[in-house]
Amino acid sequence: MRLGHDRDQQLFAASVRALLGRECMPEHARAGFSPKRWEALAGIGVPGLLVPGQYGGLGLGAGELAAVAEEAGRACAPEPVIEAAVAAALLTHAADGKDTGRAADWLRALADGGATAAVALCPAAPVAHAVHADFVLVARDDALYGMPAAAARIVPVGGVDPGRALGRIDTVVRAPGAALLLATGQGAALAEAARLGAIAAAADLLGSARAMLDLTVQYAGRREQFGRSIGTYQAVKHKLADVLTAIEFARPTVLRAAHSYDHALPSAARDAAMAKVFASDAADLAARACLQVHGAIGYTEECDLSLWLRRVWALSSAWGDAAHHRAAVADDLLGPDPAPACPPR
């Protein structure tokens, strides 16, 4: 029994943290996706984290990804770290060990930083990082399709977090045949990839929540009202204490989910769901509490807090929100919900 990032994961996370500490200050994060920063991240292996060594990647797992995604959240990096990992998992299955073919080519391009990916597991919803993606993976039933961005008719869509660079992939929605079929019979691989996305998003949310908390503790220590810093008031202290508690108890669930994913344990689906429940709830709590403690200034674009607020408002619902995953755990624990979901549309 050992629950904690291992030393390699800690070292890897530290190098990502150092890189983003230099290259992704709030003023950089504000400017959105940076090809230069992506290249730097590729230099230390981030986009190829889950790409097998055979294709030039590091062949690591969800444990490393969680450590890295937490740093991406902490720095509010607007790069598609989660999407690269999910694409790597999907393409690895589709390539099925072969050295040639489109899936293998894209795996190599991912690993060397030459291409960024967007992933549309749920075709009707807007797709994150589609606007600057080089290729797009699309799931339809149990098949995986892919297409170069140039062929995909990607329409930028406004969103609460400009750093997500949302796009709607019209081609796919209207004519899935226009995309290249990469593999069929991918049902299990698609479900696994969705879990990986949820775990990575959960880790990102922990980093984002902690960054908001740190900003807010600093602000509360600086801001004076009624002759003392607002951080001395119990109403402020207790709110932020609850945020810390939520973050700290969410983290081990994310580590466990990553471990279950990497070892393909029978509880992997439930563990991923649980991690996203705790991380989304912690980040939502952090967003509301930190905005409240900042007061009006938190409500302005010029305040750095707004970068993370936007990120959390989007990411806490992406890859399944807390209610979605809570219901999944309930189904697993208590038997299926007698109230079926609405029919798929």
Partner 1 sequence: MDRLLYLTLCQIMLARVTDLAFTVAEEDFRCEIREWLAAHVPREPLPSMDTAEGFRAHQEWERELYDAGWAVVGWPARYGGRDASLFEWLIFEEEYWRSGAPGRVGQNGIFLFAPTLFEYGTEEQKNRILPPMARGEQIWVQGWSEPGAGSDLAALRSRAVRDERRGGWVLSGQKTWSSRGAFGHRLFGLFRTDPAAGRHRGLTYLMADLAADGVSVRPIRQLDGEPGFAEVFLDDVFVPDADVLGEPGQGWNVAMSTTGSERGLSLRSPGRFLAAADRLVALYGQVRAGTTPGRRTPDTYRDAVADAWMRAEAYRLYVFQTVTRLQEGGVVVGAESSLNKVFWSELDADLHTTAQRLLGPHAETGGPWLDGYLFALAGPIYAGTNEIQRNVIAERLLGMEREPKGGRR
Residue 225 lies near a second copy (rule: CB under 8 A)? no
Site for a second copy in 296-335 (CB under 8 A): none
Total of residues contacting a second copy (CB under 8 A): 8
Residue 224 lies near a second copy (rule: CB under 8 A)? no
Tell me, what amino acid is at 345?
Answer: R
Residue 2 lies near partner 1 (rule: CB under 8 A)? yes
* Partner in contact with 108, chosen from a second copy, partner 1, none, beta carbon below 5 to 8 Å by kind: none
Residue 317 lies near partner 1 (rule: CB under 8 A)? yes
Residue 274 lies near partner 1 (rule: CB under 8 A)? yes
Contact 190, 144 (CB under 8 A): yes
The residues near 129 (Cβ < 8 Å, ≥ 6 apart) are 33, 80, 83, 116, 117, 118, 164, 165
Other beta carbons less than 10 A from residue 202's beta carbon:
34
Contact 109, 115 (CB under 8 A): yes
To the nearest whole angstrom, how small is the minimum distance from the Cβ of residue 37 to partner 1? 23
Residue 215 lies near partner 1 (rule: CB under 8 A)? no
Exactly one of 15, 102, 153, 233 binds a second copy (CB under 8 A); that residue is 233
Gap between the Cα atoms of 184 and 235, Å rounded? 55
Task: Closer to partner 1 by CB, 184 or 300: give it.
Answer: 300
To the nearest whole angstrom, how small is the minimum distance from the Cβ of residue 236 to partner 1? 7
Look at residues 125, 129, 105, 126 and name the one whose alpha carbon lies nearest to residue 117: 129
Residue 170 lies near partner 1 (rule: CB under 8 A)? no
Gap between the Cα atoms of 341 and 343, Å rounded? 6
- Nearest-10 crossing angle of helices 81-95, 102-111: 150
Stretch touching partner 1 by CB under 8 A, among 90-98, 99-107, 139-147, 305-313? 305-313
Look at residues 117, 110, 113 and name the one whose alpha carbon lies nearest to residue 40: 113
Half-sphere exposure of 192 (CA within 13 A, CB side): 22
Task: Closer to partner 1 by CB, 264 or 296: give it.
Answer: 296
Contact 44, 19 (CB under 8 A): yes
Strand (E) or helix (H) holding 69: helix 62-75
The residues near 256 (Cβ < 8 Å, ≥ 6 apart) are 3, 271, 275
Contact 47, 108 (CB under 8 A): no
Residue 19 lies near partner 1 (rule: CB under 8 A)? no
Residue 124 lies near a second copy (rule: CB under 8 A)? no
Gap between the Cα atoms of 244 and 213, Å rounded? 8
To the nearest whole angstrom, how small is the minimum distance from the Cβ of residue 339 to a second copy? 4
Site for partner 1 in 178-207 (CB under 8 A): none
Stretch touching a second copy by CB under 8 A, among 124-132, 148-156, 221-229, 230-238? 230-238
Exactly one of 21, 53, 187, 295 binds partner 1 (CB under 8 A); that residue is 295
Site for a second copy in 236-265 (CB under 8 A): 238
Task: Closer to a second copy by CB, 124 or 339: give it.
Answer: 339
Task: Closer to a second copy by CB, 233 or 313: give it.
Answer: 233
Site for partner 1 in 69-108 (CB under 8 A): none
* Partner in contact with 220, chosen from a second copy, partner 1, none, beta carbon below 5 to 8 Å by kind: partner 1
CA dihedral sign of residues 236, 237, 242, 243: positive
Task: Closer to a second copy by CB, 54 or 229: give it.
Answer: 229
Tell me the two tokens of residue 159. Answer: 């969103």
To the nearest whole angstrom, how small is the minimum distance from the Cβ of residue 175 to partner 1? 20
Residue 124 lies near partner 1 (rule: CB under 8 A)? yes
Question: Which parts of this chain interact with a second copy (CB under 8 A)?
Answer: 233-235, 238, 337-340
